[in-house]
């Protein structure tokens, strides 16, 4: 549990920011295909790492970084295959 006001405010700010971001994502899905939007979702990874470092002083270990890279590569390959199939 957060034990200082700064940690509580940081947690609240992350919650509000996440809520607004997800509402914007829902609006985006109303206007575009999921294959068009999904590559932009991977921008969450560096923002989550930065927020974790800034607010909590936490940096991911090498296994977490490897997982993030695997997720990003999988998403890039999926987007590439979707574009390739649409041609």
pLDDT band at 72, cuts 50/70/90? Answer: confident
- Please give the Cα distance from 44 to 27 (Å, whole number): 17
Domain boundaries, the chain: 5-86
Distances (CA, A) of 60 to 55, 83, 86: 14, 32, 37
What whole-number distance in Å separates Cα of residue 86 and Cα of residue 19? Answer: 33
Please state the pTM of the whole predicted model.
0.59
For the stretch 2-59, pLDDT in tens is 789 999 999 999 999 999 999 998 999 999 888 778 778 888 889 999 999 998 999 9
């Amino acid at each position: 549990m957060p034990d200082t006001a700064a940690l509580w405010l940081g947690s609240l700010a992350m919650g509000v920011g996440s809520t607004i971001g997800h509402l914007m994502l829902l609006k985006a899905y109303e206007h575009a295909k999921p294959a068009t939007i999904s590559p932009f979702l991977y921008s969450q990874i560096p923002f989550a790492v930065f927020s974790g470092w800034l607010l909590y002083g936490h940096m991911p270990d090498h296994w977490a970084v490897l997982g993030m890279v695997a997720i990003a590569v999988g998403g890039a390959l999926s987007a590439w295959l979707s574009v390739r199939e649409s041609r």
